[in-house]
Structure 1
């Protein structure tokens, strides 16, 4: 079968023939239909410092996907050939304290699909049945392909109650924009998002934010005044990993404000902990999705009319992967999709 492979320990990716994966115990064989390009995939293509430590070649990339079930191992129930499915890309041990307590997203031995084992940038992929999410209600394949990052957005946005709250989102990448759409849909009063990219701020406006603020020319405090806020934001969603973004967020939260952090910094940095303490601000780190409460919430949000179509801005055949990756790396885009049927 065709697969997109990190074949060598150097920058680049290679479209090549690899053996079709064998169906193991308790696994599901899936014909891949669409995949989404993630920032992680860009790091692996560039073979930066993180990728050099995290991956071993050869490796089939990809963890954002939708496909059709082809076969299931004996004993697998609830999943059948023909089902449209997405996959939870965090494979957990099942035996640690958190896994046994049902907190699988907190497993210390998590293996990443397309990072620690061959992934979904291929014509076929296998996954443990426990990692397969069946779409019981029809979902557009492009949207189903990005359930993984959509789940990051939902997990972050729904970490704290949002009804009637004023929400600040720093970072208008695709996940930040999806989080803004979720916050709006979930009943937030105001949703302000910040970035330095006019293109992405315009995308955010298309999902209905109250204010898309270019922090090159305006401050978050300016945004507060524009929205008529006197006491600061109630909920913060930090999506950028930028030191200045978190520092400004902390400075503009109301007393008792709550911040969920998904953006991953590249290095340590200082924050005003005295302000965090005296303002009684809650900080919560987010990684991945809650299995499977977040997945349930995603499906229900889409059933309830949440529209993610503005976030998807590029569609390519898998054969044109270099062009697709170049667009994704360029920053003037939302989510970029590879079609494995074209």
Structure 2
């Protein structure tokens, strides 16, 4: 089969012929239809310091996918050939305290699909049945391909109650855009999205942001005045990993405000801890998705009319993967999809 492989310990990815994966007793084999390009894939392609530490070559990359089940292992009973599926990209040990307590998203021994084991940028993918999500309700195939990052957005956005709340989202990348759509759909009063990229801010307006703010020109305080907020924002969703973004969020949160932080900083940085303490601000770190409560919420949100179509801005054949990765690396749009059925 064809697969995108990190074949050498140097920048680049290569489309190679590799063996079709074998299916174990508790696994399913998926014929991949679409995949989404993630920031993790860009790191692996560029072979930066993180990738050099995290990845052993050769490796089939990718973890965002949708496809059809073509074979099931002998112990699999709840998934059938022909099911349309996506998959949870975090494979857990099942034996640690958190796994045994049902908190699998907190497993300390998590292995990442397409990072710690062969991934989804291939014509076929073998995955444990316990990591498979069957789409019981029809979902657009491109949207189903990005359920993994959509889950990050849902996990972050729904960490705290949103009904009637004023929400500040820092970072209008694909996950920030999806979080804005979720927050508005879930009943937030105002959703303000900040970034410095006008193209992404335009996408934020398309998904329902009340205000899409270029912080290179306008301050968060100005947005508060425009909206008539007298006490600050109730909930912050930090999606950028940018130190100034978090500092600005903390400075503009109401007393007792809550922050869900998904953005991953590249290095340590200082924040105003006295303000956090005196304002009784809660900060919650987010990684991945709750298995599988977040997945259930994702499906229900889409069934209820949530529209993620504006977030997908690039579609390419897998044969044109170089152009697709270049598009994603420019950072001007939303999600980029690779078509493996073409």
What is aligned with 2:216?
Answer: 216
Deviations 1:188-214 (A, max 9, x none): 000000000000000000011100000
What is aligned with 1:43?
Answer: 43
What is aligned with 2:263?
Answer: 263
User: SS of the counterpart of 1:255?
Assistant: strand
Alignment of structure 1 residues 8-157 onto 2, 5 Å: 8-157=8-157
Deviations 1:123-169 (A, max 9, x none): 00010000000000000000000000000000000000000000000
The alignment status of 1:164 with 2:159, answered yes or no, reads: no
Note the C-alpha offset of 1:61: 0.4
Unaligned runs of 5+ in 1: none
| TM-score, normalization by structure 1 | 1.00
The alignment status of 1:253 with 2:246, answered yes or no, reads: no
User: SS of the counterpart of 1:319?
Assistant: helix
User: SS of the counterpart of 1:333?
Assistant: coil
User: SS of the counterpart of 1:328?
Assistant: helix
Deviations 1:255-300 (A, max 9, x none): 0000000000000000000000000000000000000000000000
Unaligned runs of 5+ in 2: none
| TM-score, normalization by structure 2 | 1.00
Counterpart-to-counterpart distance in 2, 1:339 and 1:333: 18
What is aligned with 2:327?
Answer: 327
Note the C-alpha offset of 1:78: 1.0
Note the C-alpha offset of 1:25: 2.3
Counterpart-to-counterpart distance in 2, 1:150 and 1:103: 20
Counterpart-to-counterpart distance in 1, 2:61 and 2:32: 13
Question: Which runs of 4 or more aligned residues in structure 1 lie more than 4 Å from their structure 2 counterparts after TM superposition?
Answer: none
Counterpart-to-counterpart distance in 1, 2:262 and 2:25: 34
Counterpart-to-counterpart distance in 1, 2:208 and 2:91: 35
Counterpart-to-counterpart distance in 2, 1:338 and 1:66: 11
Counterpart-to-counterpart distance in 1, 2:131 and 2:192: 34
CA RMSD in angstroms, aligned pairs only: 0.4
Counterpart-to-counterpart distance in 2, 1:7 and 1:167: 43
Note the C-alpha offset of 1:332: 1.6
Counterpart-to-counterpart distance in 1, 2:265 and 2:100: 30
Note the C-alpha offset of 1:338: 0.1
Counterpart-to-counterpart distance in 2, 1:138 and 1:188: 27
Counterpart-to-counterpart distance in 2, 1:98 and 1:187: 32
What is aligned with 1:184?
Answer: 184
Note the C-alpha offset of 1:35: 0.1
Counterpart-to-counterpart distance in 1, 2:297 and 2:257: 24
Counterpart-to-counterpart distance in 1, 2:340 and 2:333: 20
